[in-house]
Structure 1
Amino acid sequence: MTAFRSLVFAALFYLNLLGHMVIFAPAVLFGPDRVVWWVTKSWARRSLWLLKVVTGTRASITGQENIPVGAALIAAKHQSFWEVFALVPELDRPTFVLKKELMNIPLFGWYSRRLGMIPVDRDGRGAALNSILAGAQKAVAAGRQIIIFPEGTRTAPGAEPEYRPGVHFLYTRLGVPLVPVALNSGVYWPRDSFVRRQGTVRAEFMPAIPPGLDRHALLRQVKAAIEGRSLGLLRSAYAERDDLPVTPVIAERLRETA
């Protein structure tokens, strides 16, 4: 039954995405920014609703009081596609740092440009960082929040984190507060499976880190906040549902926090 519900959700999820992009294309093309953001947040909210109704996967997002007014970096744990849409309704006009290749997808790439997303060429090595700076500075000047995944890719729950230079690069160049975000989405939306499991995905906006820290101090604080709280949320997931699958990595991490 879980597999069947997951397949139904996958079909409805992409229909919801395509429907919003096609039906509202004229409004997005010719309308003001507030219309564009209404469409985007409508898609995100309906995706969360579909996930809850079809698969029984709920969302609980807390800590919104820690989000500063105006420009900020939102550094989130990245375990699944869930956080790509689930965090959007909680923010004002967020922009994502995303792979350049995604900008070439029909319709999706057009919407991404219209929304001011920031493409990064991950094959450009050192030049990749400079490639995102202009877009990030433009977003900050407009008072927007920039969502970045410090690990650069999805990681399995409990896996050893490897933070990339991008988060520190933007933090030092932009001079804005950084808000860590912890979550446990990978337990319910595995990165290597189409299955969506019942339960409550939890995410938490942590207290903002002010600008001005050096690289080592920043990474120490960011990792402590994100990894520490994400581990706590991982533990709570298994406390809430003892029927969730346990990988060897997760089992080891749970033993560490027992």
Structure 2
Amino acid sequence: MSALRALAFALYFLILTVVMGIGAIPIRILRKRQAALVYAKLWARLVLAGLCRICAIRIDVTGRDNIPDGPCFIACQHQSYFDGFIWMNLVPDPAYIIKQELIRVPLVGPMLMLSGMIPVERNAGSKALRDLMRNTQSAFDDRRQIVIFPEGTRALPGERKPLQPGIVALAKQSPVPIVPVATDSGHCWPRTGFMKYPGTIHVRIGRPLGDSKGRAALIAAINDAWDRLSITEDKFGSTVDNSVGGTLPD
């Protein structure tokens, strides 16, 4: 049954993306960032609605009150492609730091750029970091929320990969709140393959971190916050958040 659900979702995702990608052509011609972002938010909402309905997955978001008004870093664990969709509708003006390859995806890539996402060429060395810092500061000047996956790649549930140094450089340049987020999305949407499994995806948003001096202190603070969010499941509520895509009824 899970395989059939996963196949149905894959077809839904493909058709939705192609149709909305073609429908986005007028926005791309007009080159209106805000219109592109609104359209991208709708796409993400429909993707998650389909995920929930077709694959019997629920989305449980806790701690939304911990997200400050205005610019901030959302420092999120990364286990699946789900993590790339959820923040489109959890914050008002998201700017994801994404890998350069994504902007080359037909139909999707041009809209990512137009909506203000921040691509990074990971093999470009110091130039990539300079471009990242410049584009991130520009996003903060527009009072946007930067969604960053400090591990730099998707991890298995329970696995912890070393944090990349980019988060430290960005935090030193832009002293805005850093909001730690833990998730277990990989249980329902594995990092590889097309399978999707019924269950609940938890997204736990922690309080903004205090000031951390130095690279080691900041990395330790993020890891410690993730540990606390991951192991204290019962201290959070169990409210299912219907605003991010849709859920299945009990």
TM-score range normalised by the length of the shorter chain: 0.7 to 0.9
The 5 A counterparts of 1:1-258 are 1-30=1-30, 32-211=32-211, 213-232=213-232
For structure 1, which segment, 128-137 or 25-34, has the greater mean C-alpha deviation from structure 2 after superposition?
25-34
Q: Deviations over 1:84-126 (max 9, x none)?
A: 0012101111111111122222222211111111111111234
Given that residues 172 and 212 in structure 1 are in contact (C-alpha distance below 8 angstroms), is that contact kept between their aligned partners in structure 2? Answer: no
Aligned residue type for 2:109: G
Q: Deviations over 1:22-56 (max 9, x none)?
A: 11321354275443232111111111110111110
- Work out the percentage of aligned pairs sharing the same amino acid: 33
Given that residues 79 and 185 in structure 2 are in contact (C-alpha distance below 8 angstroms), is that contact kept between their aligned partners in structure 1? Answer: yes
What is the CA–CA distance in structure 2 between the aligned matches of 1:211 and 1:33, rounded to whole Å? 33
User: 1:251 is matched with which residue?
Assistant: none
Given that residues 34 and 115 in structure 2 are in contact (C-alpha distance below 8 angstroms), is that contact kept between their aligned partners in structure 1? Answer: no
User: 2:239 is matched with which residue?
Assistant: none
- Measured at CA, do residues 55 and 49 of structure 1 come closer, stay the same or move farther in structure 2, by a change above 3 Å? same
What is the CA–CA distance in structure 2 between the aligned matches of 1:35 and 1:127, rounded to whole Å? 30
What is the CA–CA distance in structure 1 between the aligned matches of 2:228 and 2:219, rounded to whole Å? 13
Given that residues 79 and 155 in structure 1 are in contact (C-alpha distance below 8 angstroms), is that contact kept between their aligned partners in structure 2? Answer: yes
Unpaired segments ≥5 residues, structure 1: 237-258
Aligned residue type for 2:66: N
Unpaired segments ≥5 residues, structure 2: 237-250
User: What SS class does the counterpart of residue 37 from structure 2 fall into?
Assistant: helix
Given that residues 118 and 135 in structure 1 are in contact (C-alpha distance below 8 angstroms), is that contact kept between their aligned partners in structure 2? Answer: yes
Given that residues 48 and 59 in structure 1 are in contact (C-alpha distance below 8 angstroms), is that contact kept between their aligned partners in structure 2? Answer: no
Aligned residue type for 1:14: L
User: What SS class does the counterpart of residue 87 from structure 1 fall into?
Assistant: helix
User: What SS class does the counterpart of residue 119 from structure 2 fall into?
Assistant: strand
Indicate the RMSD between aligned Cα atoms, in angstroms: 1.8
Given that residues 158 and 231 in structure 1 are in contact (C-alpha distance below 8 angstroms), is that contact kept between their aligned partners in structure 2? Answer: no
Aligned residue type for 1:179: V
Q: Deviations over 1:161-215 (max 9, x none)?
A: 2111011111111111111111000011111221111011010111012456322
User: What SS class does the counterpart of residue 119 from structure 1 fall into?
Assistant: strand
User: 1:246 is matched with which residue?
Assistant: none
What is the CA–CA distance in structure 2 between the aligned matches of 1:220 and 1:124, rounded to whole Å? 27
What is the CA–CA distance in structure 2 between the aligned matches of 1:175 and 1:225, rounded to whole Å? 18
Given that residues 99 and 122 in structure 1 are in contact (C-alpha distance below 8 angstroms), is that contact kept between their aligned partners in structure 2? Answer: yes
- Measured at CA, do residues 227 and 180 of structure 1 come closer, stay the same or move farther in structure 2, by a change above 3 Å? same
Aligned residue type for 1:11: L
Aligned residue type for 1:24: A
Structure of greater relative contact order (alpha carbons < 8 Å, 6+ residues apart): 2
- How high is the TM-score relative to the length of structure 1? 0.85
What is the CA–CA distance in structure 2 between the aligned matches of 1:105 and 1:179, rounded to whole Å? 29
User: What SS class does the counterpart of residue 156 from structure 1 fall into?
Assistant: coil
Aligned residue pairs: how many? 234
